[in-house]
Amino acid sequence: MSAHKTLKLIGFVSIAISLSFGALFASAQEKFGFGKPAHPDEIARYNSDIHTDGSGLPDGSGDVALGAEIYEYQCALCHGEELEGVPEMGANSLHEGRRDIKKLPYASSLFDFIRRAMPLTDPGTLSNDETYGLVAFLLNETGVIKDDNLTLDAKSLAAIKMPNRQNFIIDPASRFTAEDLQ
Amino acid sequence: MTQVNKTNRRRFLQASLASSAALLAKPASAQEVVLQPARSTGRTIFEAGEYGMPSEFATGSRLIGSANGLHGGARTPLSESHGIITPSGLHFEVHHGGVPDIPPHEHKLLIHGMVDNPKIFTMEDIMRFPSVSRIHFLECSGNGEQEWSSPSSPTTTVQQSHGLTSCSEWTGVPLKMVLDELGIKTEAKWLLAEGDDSSRMGRSIPMWKVIDDAFLVYAQNGEFLRPEQGFPLRLLVPGFEGNMNVKWLHRLELSDKPWWTHQEVARYSDPRPNGKKVVFSFYMDAKSVITSPSSTMTLNGPGFYEITGIAWSGRGKVAKVDVSTDGGATWQEANLQTPIFNKAHTRFRLPWMWDGKEATLQSRTTDDTGYVQPNYEQLYALQSPIGMMHNHAIQSWRVQQDGTVINVHHV
């Protein structure tokens, strides 16, 4: 059988399969019925992500001093005392290049990532206060917000306008529109 | 244990018989043909084990790169790969927080957000859905990043420069079919896919792509996924950058807007020459590379050689691969291995008589959307050299007069 015929046959079989599903269910409302309903409490246990408008940010607050303390014993080993990065530990500078904190479009991305994935060997162990404190420390340290007394919570973090925000664009070669991104 | 003892005893007996036969044998006359003795029995069937392993003489292994063992990955040995399928054990990997091995009976997939009925699926639930198998490449968008500005080294191999792409047959369930069980709200435009590794890696995926061809995958190349590939469940977003094909998939959330996760804004975004940074540049554009002859190989004198390699495109099928042996001055169309699959590695081959003179080998693919793989000069106009992601420029290998092959940039 030629490759062309094989492909034609595959095409025919996939049409046949989709038709058979049409016949499987009497109406569009009918379902396979697999899976269990997710209880709101269960969703809440996993739903940790944060949107750019700050929705999803948890209660709590933290300041630069708390962040500096946490940074010293949880982060500096890999990210360096001055945020310069320790390549032997696998961490690049947070002052320049792709990990440059100043260049992030939203502070929410930073909070979300630290809470989600850091510290590398023990992620998910930082409290909300500690995470807010770390974001405050990092923004102060990188000069985004020069304020040694900066304290962040859900409201103040959501209000931060990162200086590089306007330099982020969507890929003109892709099919996205500005409306997709809002 | 008994079997092993029996085997050893038999071997001893055979050896004794052989040596007594040798003592009795007379010298062979000039006319007598001495048959080549048969090979010894080799390892027993029991020794071969319950999961077959490659020959100890077979070459081709992954190249591992990681500073801390938790973040980093491994590259596919492309110059020692054949055809279009990458064996699961040689598939490239990139990890962000180690490699969990999750018991499937404990694994659950939560789907919530802009759906009518949020649900939790067990692996048993997911495997009850009608299944599909498709052949697709997977490529890290950082593949080739160290080659952006200049060749990293003349001795950089194709495994080092291009080894973050692999191609497998994947089996699973179309994601649309699962989402239809929950009812997708019309305002849902984006999907967050989150992994259950320690880093809870998350990426935003546009719903049109989800509906088009994304699927939940539990098997690769005829067997269950390897832990390194996301066992027991991963997402496949065919043709989009590897990072979005979230492994150990445990949560999907539908929303009207993307999340701008750290992965998206700090790592997988592309600086442009004008200082702007492009986010959500998901497509892996048409790309090809010659895997043989390639850097660090040596041609053993003038004569016939097959030029072969792979081509792929995240936007569709490979339509054509052109090969040049003179640095892009002239091109010849290579033979493509059929059937050609959508968003899959496509093997190309071209017979070549090497005249013993210096030659610069290049391959250039065109996909079925008409997109032509750019050279470095063309790529620099599109993307900033500091960007490093989505390097899909034409690769050049220079065959030197002594037959050695090196990695060069040749626009």
CA distances from B250 to B117, B218, B232, B246 (A): 17, 13, 10, 9
Chain B residue numbers with beta carbons less than 8 Å from the beta carbon of A99 are 266
Contact residues for B11 (Cβ-Cβ < 8 A; gap 6+):
none
Chain B residue numbers with beta carbons less than 8 Å from the beta carbon of A117 are 96-97, 198-201, 262
pLDDT value of residue B18: 47
pLDDT(B30) > 70: no
B253 touches chain A (CB under 8 A): yes
The domain containing residue B309 runs over which residues? 287-408
Same domain, yes or no, for B76 and B206? Answer: yes
B4 pLDDT band, cuts 50/70/90, is very low
Do B70 and B98 contact (CB within 8 A), yes or no?
yes
pLDDT > 70: what percent of chain A?
77
Yes or no, beta carbons of B283 and A173 under 8 Å apart? yes
Yes or no, beta carbons of B96 and A117 under 8 Å apart? yes
Yes or no, beta carbons of A169 and B250 under 8 Å apart? no
Yes or no, beta carbons of B192 and A37 under 8 Å apart? no
Same domain, yes or no, for B77 and B131? Answer: yes
Yes or no, beta carbons of B200 and A123 under 8 Å apart? yes
A95: closest CA of chain B, how far (Å): 12
Place of tokens 């299944």: B131
Do B410 and B377 contact (CB within 8 A), yes or no?
no
What ipTM, to 2 d.p.?
Answer: 0.82
Q: Smallest Cβ distance to A49: which of B192, B272, B388? A: B192
A96 pLDDT band, cuts 50/70/90, is confident
The helix, strand and coil proportions of chain B, stated in percent and rounded to the nearest 5, come to 20, 35, 50
Same domain, yes or no, for B252 and B292? Answer: no
Which of B64, B66, B68, B126 would you mutate first to test chain A, the one with the most A CBs within 10 A? B68
B382 pLDDT band, cuts 50/70/90, is confident
Mean pLDDT score, B69-74: 90
pLDDT value of residue B26: 55
Yes or no, beta carbons of B260 and A43 under 8 Å apart? no
CATH, residue B379: 2.60.40.650
- How many CA atoms lie less than 13 Å away from B111 in the CB half-sphere? 25
Nearest CA in chain B to A120: B97
pLDDT value of residue B273: 76
Do A105 and A165 contact (CB within 8 A), yes or no?
yes
Same domain, yes or no, for B149 and B293? Answer: no
The sign of the CA dihedral B216, B221, B226, B229 is negative
Domains of chain A, each with CATH number or no CATH:
40-167 (1.10.760.10)
pLDDT value of residue B278: 84
Candidate from A20-24, B2-6, B78-82, B288-292 with smallest mean pLDDT: B2-6
Candidate from B6-10, B149-153, B213-217 with smallest mean pLDDT: B6-10
pLDDT(A181) > 60: no
Strands B190-195 and B202-206: antiparallel
Same domain, yes or no, for B80 and B218? Answer: yes
pLDDT tens digit string along B73-114?
Answer: 999 999 999 999 999 999 999 999 999 999 999 999 999 999
Please provide the distance, in angstroms rounded to a whole number, between the alpha carbons at the two ends of chain A. Answer: 51
Do B171 and B132 contact (CB within 8 A), yes or no?
yes
Same domain, yes or no, for B70 and B213? Answer: yes
Chain A residue numbers with beta carbons less than 8 Å from the beta carbon of B260 are 52, 105-106, 108-109
Phi, psi of B9 (to 5 degrees): -65, -45
Mean pLDDT score, B334-348: 98
B279 touches chain A (CB under 8 A): yes
CATH, residue B212: 3.90.420.10
A73 touches chain B (CB under 8 A): no
Selected residues 288-327 of chain B with any CB under 8 Å from a CB in chain A? none
Task: Report the alpha-carbon distance of residue A21 to residue A31 in Å, rounded.
Answer: 11
Residue at B18 is within a domain = no
Residue at B134 is within a domain = yes
A171 pLDDT band, cuts 50/70/90, is low
Same domain, yes or no, for B270 and B361? Answer: no
Residue at B52 is within a domain = no
Mean pLDDT score, A90-102: 88
A15 pLDDT band, cuts 50/70/90, is very low
Retrieve residue A12's tokens: 């025919």
| Residue that is last in its domain, among B278, B302, B327 | B278
A105 touches chain B (CB under 8 A): yes
Task: Report the alpha-carbon distance of residue B30 to residue A65 in Å, rounded.
Answer: 96
Domain count, chain B: 2
Average pLDDT over chain B reads 91
pLDDT value of residue A8: 45
Residue at B51 is within a domain = no
Which of B200, B379, B389 would you mutate first to test chain A, the one with the most A CBs within 10 A? B200
Yes or no, beta carbons of A34 and B121 under 8 Å apart? yes
Residue at B399 is within a domain = yes
Mean pLDDT score, B169-193: 96
Same domain, yes or no, for B121 and B165? Answer: yes
Nearest CA in chain A to B258: A181
pLDDT value of residue B17: 45
Q: Smallest Cβ distance to B267: which of A89, A98, A164? A: A98
Cα angle B383, B344, B281 (rounded to 5 degrees) comes to: 25
Which of B267, B381, B257, B372 has its CA nearest to residue B315? B372
Q: How many residues does chain B have?
A: 411
Yes or no, beta carbons of B198 and A181 under 8 Å apart? no
Candidate from A23-37, A95-109, B20-34 with smallest mean pLDDT: B20-34
Task: Report the alpha-carbon distance of residue A125 to residue A130 in Å, rounded.
Answer: 10
Assign B308 to helix, strand or coil: strand
Residue at B128 is within a domain = yes
Assign A37 to helix, strand or coil: strand
pLDDT value of residue A29: 63
Give Rg (Cα) of chain B. Answer: 26
Mean pLDDT score, A16-28: 56
B268 pLDDT band, cuts 50/70/90, is confident
Same domain, yes or no, for B247 and B305? Answer: no
pLDDT(B285) > 80: yes
Which of B365, B375, B283, B288 has its CA nearest to residue B327? B375
Chain A residue numbers with beta carbons less than 8 Å from the beta carbon of B272 are 169
Same domain, yes or no, for B83 and B229? Answer: yes
Give Rg (Cα) of chain A. Answer: 24
| Residue that is last in its domain, among B278, B308, B326 | B278
Same domain, yes or no, for B259 and B304? Answer: no
Residue at B356 is within a domain = yes
Which of B173, B272, B18 has its CA nearest to residue A172? B272
| Residue that is last in its domain, among B278, B299, B331 | B278
pLDDT value of residue A19: 45
Task: Report the alpha-carbon distance of residue B111 to residue B249 in Å, rounded.
Answer: 11
Same domain, yes or no, for B93 and B186? Answer: yes
Residue at B41 is within a domain = no
pLDDT tens digit string along B352-363?
Answer: 999 999 999 999
